[in-house]
Chains A and B, each alone.
Chain A
Amino acid sequence: MASFDVIFLGGGPAGYVGAIRAAQLGLNTAVVEREALGGTCVIWGCIPAKALLEAASLATRVAKGAEFGVTVGEVKLDYGVAMKRSRAVSTQNSKGVEFLFKKNKITWIRGTGTITGANAVTVKTQDGKEEKHDAKKGIVICTGSRVKGLPQVGLELNKTTVISSDEALVLEKAPKSIAIVGAGAVGCEFADVFNAFGSAVTLIDVAPAILPLEDQECSAELAKAFKKRKIDVVTGAKISNVKIGKNSVSMSLDAGGAKRDLTVDVVLVAAGRAPNVENVGLEKAGVKLTERGFVKINERMETSAKGIYAIGDVAGPPMLAHKGSREGVIVAEVIAGKHFHPLNYGNVPNATYCHPEVASIGLTEQQCKEKKLDYKVGKFPFSANGRARTSGETEGFVKIIRDAKYGEILGAHIIGAHATEMIHELAVARENEYTVEEVDLAIHAHPTLSEAVAEAALDSMGKLIHA
């Protein structure tokens, strides 16, 4: 039994960032984590997936080498090697978090934690022993989320022919054919990876567009780019008649009347994640859930039970690492009694790392219409951008939606190479309430892809220069 000021249940991007901030604020901090530090982000999500996407990007670029006067020999693709590299990167990052814990004198309690009292956490360690720990100032639930199957259409995860992103990240080879069910960020990224590694990819979503939460124009542009790369995109599709064989899965698709049968080696289910709310002792502690099954919190990250907080995926969407990390910072500041800035959930950037990349912040044009806002749109294509031409990455555009009267940036959407890096200019602008005018007035270096951002801002004012 040890006594701490605060115990974080989970060492993912919400918990570990919160723990570091808490320690920096002078709190005696512990993190309960049964796996390696870093959580889904570092072990089963962001980091290894991006390492694989980098491999995919390299494969695509090498294939275009001749155009640039760089001819390489025979190109061999080996998913297994790419996978091992991604695991190494993942481990490296996890060790990095371990180092940060040591540096900040944070205690890592290895095991599975359960809330057993107002200030008490019981941890079951790997050898089956139970330890009781005391959290004087607060317990933070940051147990994250997990992959889930689609049993309602007969796609229960079996880890061989019906897999999730968890298994996809450790496959030894790319399957000959793969159907990816769910065309959100995860689905689109794996479609990109397996396509680059030679799989025949069918990307399926029940929604009428891929990346359904993004601006429709970005979704359409990405679908166009995917189709060009021979990814079979089936949207508005209902799945039925699923038959799971030993080495293959067959199903029927009905996309608005267009019916077809599909047989693939592997199905990857990427249709969302489930919050880890079980076996944490929530009910006994009096922690209430939302209708959608997430832990209910307020802007101070407090749950319905005094002294118990929740952050990250388990505390509700958007289920993004950077949203969880910010909640971690806030919960640390709240528990330490410091001033904190409430999280503006309308200003969390979205990023999908397929090629071309898609990134956005704020409202989509559909949402502006639904809200009946008076807005103007500025758009600039990368095909008109010098830097994009030099690298041969001219797919995509920057789209900025501004308030017609005051110039407030209501939403910004970028699809194109390095979109996920470029979006932050607009995140800073929105956070500081700069209008399109300030974005234009900031001088953008030439030649850069970011010039397209300034041009889109100009276009929204009807003052486009390079088009």
Chain B
Amino acid sequence: MATKVVMEALSPTMEEGRLVKWLKNEGDAVKSGEPIAEVETDKAVMELVARADGVLRKRVLGEGTAAPVGQLVGVIAGKDENIDALLQGAGGGGAPAQAAPAQAAPAQQQQGGGAKPAEQVIARAQETAGASSVPRSADQAQGEASMPPQQKAAGAPPQSPGPGQPAGSGRGAAPAGNGGRARSSPLARRLASERGIDLGGMQGSGPGGRIVKRDIEAAATAAPAAARQAAPVRPRSDADFEDVPLTQIRKTIARRLSESIGPIPTFYLTAEFDLGRASELRDAMLEMGDEYKVSFNDIVLKATATALAQHPEVNAHWLGDKIRYFNRVHLGMAVATDDGLIVPVIFDADQKRMSEISAEAKALAKKARERKLKPEEYTGSTFSVSNLGMFGIDQFTAIINPPEAGILAIGAVEDKPVVVGDDLEVRKKMRVTMSCDHRVVDGAVGARFLQTLRRMLENPLMLVF
């Protein structure tokens, strides 16, 4: 019998999935439970498995294309079976899979507004297919119900043997709907609940996809590892910028964070830099004559531009459906005028020498205050810097200039007592706070950029390297 392959809800929060890769060609024999495609969900890339034995007759969805949960992506049928009827519904996005025999959709999957047609297919498939990623939502229900041992011990005094005793194996959890068995071990559930790991989107390595201890341990170690690799160094190309389509995870982060904190989900990173050497540099240049005079702000601008060139993942714009990573650095510098704030731009700042930046910054600030800036002089920045140090502000947070992904807020350079070894020394310190658009820049990504910036400002010879 012909069976539709639909985009399945491979994680509890998944609304659409992008078909990354077909693992079977049209005409290939497939077995129920066998992976046929890789699908990127909002959480991870997972395998979509066949729900019936037969031949993959049609690949409806192309690789790299996204489809909402429930939409037809392919057809499994007998070798010579007529599948025209099934394919008719394929055109429209999210076409209901009417051909699938309607069976009572599992109660737990009805939450969030009625059973989707796809779930009927899934429900039927569950009877035949052994391995399925769908019932994992049941695991999650169990996992969530399984409280950390301490909590449960506190909540159930008659049974609780006392703190430190194991309890809360998740047994109290309601049995998974539709008779599906929870595919995770008691130990895995306990470890997961303790570590706050969501079993929902996890691929188990035990029999029948059961989540076991090693999966939890792998997930726990993979998370920091993933963060470390999160910002691939983007190859520089001749183009001024590169548009990267949003990945599902990026989409989910964007949506969730915006809901939480206004249109731009901003977070802030503050660091205190030692400007001792920068100050020496400035003094040394000044000794050579007034024409070599540079301000701390000039040094900060030069360092920021150089650091941005090394961190295109921060030098980016949020464009709603994609992120634009720039291969050029156009540095906006916020200037306070009597009318308010304006941000003139030093174009290709990373390519310019300190003297050029200094001169340009001076000229732009002057023009700004005289209201003589032309539009092309205050548009097109890829990243911005705001400096209130001259007003004696120690530290502040700047508002991101959309669609930019970040802005640096520079505080005053101050003499501060610092413990060096066992001694107290007076050092020149400056606080920098970076506002980051979390849809583009994750915490670790921003932090790495600030690390680079610190290296440059604390060792200003790096700027001529």
Contacts and interface: CB of A to CB of B under 8 A. Distances in A.
Interface stretch (A75-83, A167-175, A240-248, A428-436): A428-436
30 contacts: A341-B206, A341-B207, A403-B166, A404-B164, A405-B149, A405-B166, A406-B149, A406-B166, A406-B191, A406-B194, A432-B185, A432-B186, A433-B187, A433-B188, A433-B212, A433-B213, A434-B186, A434-B187, A435-B166, A435-B186, A435-B190, A436-B166, A437-B166, A437-B186, A438-B169, A438-B186, A461-B161, A461-B165, A461-B166, A462-B162
A437 B149 CA distance: 12
A340 to B, nearest CB: 11
7 closest A-B pairs by beta carbon, nearest first, are A407-B166, A433-B185, A433-B187, A461-B161, A406-B190, A408-B187, A437-B169
Contacts of B161: 461-463
Given A406-B149, A406-B191, A435-B186, A462 B213 contact: no
A70 interface: no
Chain A CB within 10 Å, residue with most, of B167, B169, B171: B169
A407 B206 CA distance: 20
A437 B166 CA distance: 7
Interface in B263-317: none
Contacts of A463: 161
A461 B161 CA distance: 7
B165 A433 contact: no
A324 B165 CA distance: 37
A462 B163 CA distance: 11
Contacts of B190: 406-407, 435
Nearest to B165: A461
Contacts of A433: 185-188, 212-213
A442 to B, nearest CB: 12
Contacts of B149: 405-407
Contacts of A441: 171
A462 B165 contact: yes
A462 B167 CA distance: 12
Contacts, number: 54
A435 B165 contact: no
A87 interface: no
Nearest to B171: A441
Contacts of A296: none
Given A404-B164, A406-B194, 19 more contacts: A402-B166, A403-B166, A406-B166, A406-B190, A407-B166, A432-B185, A433-B186, A433-B188, A434-B185, A434-B187, A435-B166, A435-B186, A435-B187, A435-B190, A436-B166, A437-B167, A437-B186, A438-B169, A461-B161
B214 to A, nearest CB: 9
Interface in B137-195: 149, 161-162, 164-167, 169, 171, 185-188, 190-191, 194
B169 A405 contact: no
Given A341-B207, A405-B164, A435 B188 contact: no
Contacts of A437: 166-167, 169, 186
A302 B212 CA distance: 25
Interface of A: 341, 402-408, 432-438, 441, 461-463
A333 to B, nearest CB: 13
Contacts of B191: 406
Interface of B: 149, 161-162, 164-167, 169, 171, 185-188, 190-191, 194, 206-207, 212-213
Nearest to B167: A437
Contacts of A407: 149, 165-166, 169, 187, 190
A404 B167 CA distance: 11
A293 B185 CA distance: 37
Contacts of A432: 185-186
A461 B163 CA distance: 11
A46 to B, nearest CB: 28
B357 to A, nearest CB: 56
Nearest to A432: B185
A407 B193 CA distance: 14
Nearest to A408: B187
A461 B168 CA distance: 13
B169 A435 contact: yes
A405 B150 CA distance: 9
Contacts of B164: 404-405
A148 to B, nearest CB: 37
Nearest to A458: B161
Nearest to A409: B187
A441 B186 CA distance: 13
A121 B137 CA distance: 51
A461 B166 CA distance: 7
B234 to A, nearest CB: 37
Given A433-B186, A434-B187, A435-B187, A408 B213 contact: yes
Nearest to A436: B166
Contacts of B186: 432-435, 437-438
B265 to A, nearest CB: 35
B152 to A, nearest CB: 11
Contacts of A406: 149, 166, 187, 190-191, 194
Chain A CB within 10 Å, residue with most, of B161, B187, B212: B187
Nearest to A403: B166
Chain B CB within 10 Å, residue with most, of A403, A404, A432, A436: A432
A128 to B, nearest CB: 48
A434 B185 CA distance: 7
A40 to B, nearest CB: 31
A365 to B, nearest CB: 18
Nearest to B131: A339
Chain B CB within 10 Å, residue with most, of A404, A406, A441: A406
B213 to A, nearest CB: 6
A189 to B, nearest CB: 34
A434 B165 CA distance: 15
A78 to B, nearest CB: 49
Contacts of B185: 432-434
Nearest to B162: A462
A408 B194 CA distance: 14
Contacts of B212: 433
A378 B186 CA distance: 20
Contacts of A434: 185-187
A118 B164 CA distance: 57
A359 to B, nearest CB: 22
A433 B194 CA distance: 16
Contacts of B162: 462
Contacts of B187: 406-408, 433-435
A461 to B, nearest CB: 5
